[in-house]
Structure 1
Amino acid sequence: MQITSLAVHPVKSTAIRLLTTVAVLPRGFEDDRSWVVVDAEGVVVTAREQHGLFALVADTPRTDPALDRDLRLRTADLPDLLLDHPEGDPVRVKLFSRELEGVPAGGEADAWVRKALGRDDVRLVWCDDPTRRRLNPEFSRPGDHTAYADGYPVTIASEASLRRLNDWIVEGALSRGEEPPEPLPMERFRPNLVVDGDEPFAEDAWTGVTVGDVRFRVAKPTDRCVMTTIDLGSLTTGKEPIRTLARHRLVDHKTLFAVSLVPENAGTVRVGDEVTARV
């Protein structure tokens, strides 16, 4: 197998930033989901409920080498927001049932995000210490950690599995007498690492993968939510892929696509690198 794409999302739920080379840290890919938007209660705001986050473009010096600040946010009709990592006391951040922390980005950042999203109860925070975020002990080991990813540091997805899923979607549409939709892009699933060269859903049997000197351990299959039903262009919501995953990939009431990984050591991975699966 080979890596076909690498991606980070510097601010959780914002536009996908593709890279050719990524530094792998214990907490995941460098820069991935290091910043997050929260509401007045500290609850993480994602594109599940705020589709407009997908229209925000977040860059760091890794995604744009010409950038000399720690973060740039862009969107239509607003000047770019340029930020450095903030200092100060951390505030409460709540992601699902987990109590986390983050350092507020400041008033200028909050005003920009509020204008961009059209709501006055949000603020931007930065994860200054990802080691505070422990993972679900059922699927991790002591010391495993990450920043603001939903569950685990890295998600890996398979091009072959996506092709099979799109075939199922077409078959389902034809069986209902409907016009088959355009194939779903991999971006709907927002994986960090995409591979090709194995059988569809071979990842179900993996216990880990190795890329060069970097080893990853499989934590669990990735269960999918309504965020995957949002069209990244129009920001409208449909029924796919959840409808088809519920028919073909339903396990314990969860719709599965891709798997979650935990890095076992630091290193660098590149598009085109060979990937070896461990079963």
Structure 2
Amino acid sequence: MEGVVRGVGFSPVKGMRHLALDHVDLDELGAVGDRAFCLVDTAQRRVLRTVQHPSLMGIVAQAYDDGLALTLPTGEHVEGPVTVSGETITCDYWGRSVDLALTDGPHGGLISVHLGRDVRLARAPRGGVVFADPITVVTTASLAEIEAEAARFRATLVLDTEEPWAEDTWLGTEITVGEATLRIGGPIPRCAVIDHHPETGEKDAQLLKALVRQRPTNRAGEPMFGVYATVTRPGRVSVTR
């Protein structure tokens, strides 16, 4: 099965603005550069979650070489090298432990002021702050069915489909996307993040409730939208023009 790619993206810092990109490089661990960093409450030893800190979506993060640039909604901007301090910390991320390398530099201070609490920027191991499989996929027909924009779902890939919910039947299917091949996994349970504007983080929709009425839910009552995937053949995936 071959997929037509209508969108690709990720954020280099967990929870920050999901960037729409022209292409993405995939390997066995997912999208290269995706969630390479995260924010840590060192006192609580917890990785900050987007659903609890939606204002993070208002911050644009762009990684380059060994550096990181951050732009706040106010226009404040900081950029520079991200230097690992030599300190490591083991944090909780959705009930599992992940070892993170704390960093030095101005980035953490700027974000702390924005959030009104002390946080540190940390470098995460590949896949360390990913909830399940590293790739997430949504489809154009399903987005059209619920009249929602792809950015709200922060998916790695948006694939073109003619029928809504076609992805529900893809479990175990291998799909070629650009130079890469994916194996489709299970459905993605959705949380309240989708009710927040993807560029400001402000709550401006009731999409979660609408999905609960239309879609299957898990034991926690979370509606399913989109599917997870793993990479079986690495390669570059570009948006089809």
TM-score by length of 2: 0.88
Unaligned runs of 5+ in 1: 62-67, 131-145, 167-183, 274-279
Greater share of residues in strand: 2
Q: Which deviations, in whole Å up to 9, do the C-alpha atoms of 1:146-178 show, x marking residues without a partner? A: 231222201010010011112xxxxxxxxxxxx
Corresponding residue to 1:112 among 110, 114, 117: 110
Q: Aligned letter for 1:114?
A: S
Corresponding residue to 1:6 among 1, 5, 8: 8
Q: Secondary structure at the match of 1:156?
A: strand
CA distance in 2, matches of 1:205, 1:190: 21
Q: Secondary structure at the match of 1:197?
A: coil
CA distance in 2, matches of 1:227, 1:92: 25
Q: Secondary structure at the match of 1:194?
A: strand
Q: Kindly tell me the number of residue pairs found equivalent between the two proteins.
A: 233
Matched, 1:271 2:231: no
CA contact (8 A) 2:83 2:105 kept: no
Equivalent in the alignment of 1:231: 197
CA contact (8 A) 2:17 2:58 kept: yes
Question: Which one has the largest radius of gyration?
Answer: 1
Matched, 1:149 2:151: no
Q: Secondary structure at the match of 1:228?
A: helix
CA contact (8 A) 1:157 1:195 kept: yes
Matched, 1:244 2:210: yes
CA contact (8 A) 2:13 2:34 kept: yes
Q: Which deviations, in whole Å up to 9, do the C-alpha atoms of 1:42-81 show, x marking residues without a partner? A: 21112312122011111023xxxxxx54321121253313
CA contact (8 A) 1:24 1:269 kept: yes
Equivalent in the alignment of 1:137: none
CA contact (8 A) 2:69 2:80 kept: yes
CA contact (8 A) 2:70 2:107 kept: no
TM-score by length of 1: 0.77
Q: Which deviations, in whole Å up to 9, do the C-alpha atoms of 1:96-130 show, x marking residues without a partner? A: 1010011101253322221222222x111001x33
CA distance in 1, matches of 2:199, 2:62: 19
CA RMSD of aligned residues (A): 2.0
CA contact (8 A) 1:59 1:72 kept: yes
CA contact (8 A) 2:23 2:239 kept: yes
Q: Secondary structure at the match of 1:60?
A: strand
Equivalent in the alignment of 1:73: 70
Which 4+ stretches in 1 moved above 4 angstroms? Answer: none
Corresponding residue to 2:155 among 167, 191, 213: 191
Q: Could you tell me how far 1:268 is from its partner in structure 2?
A: 1.0
Q: Aligned letter for 2:209?
A: R
Shift of the 217–17 alpha-carbon distance from structure 1 to 2, 3 Å rule, reads same
Shift of the 246–18 alpha-carbon distance from structure 1 to 2, 3 Å rule, reads same
Matches within 5 A, 1:78-97: 78-84=76-82, 86=84, 88-97=86-95
Shift of the 231–79 alpha-carbon distance from structure 1 to 2, 3 Å rule, reads closer
CA distance in 2, matches of 1:107, 1:8: 23
CA distance in 1, matches of 2:89, 2:167: 38
CA distance in 2, matches of 1:81, 1:9: 16
Q: Secondary structure at the match of 1:33?
A: coil
Q: Could you tell me how far 1:234 is from its partner in structure 2?
A: 5.0
Q: Secondary structure at the match of 1:157?
A: strand
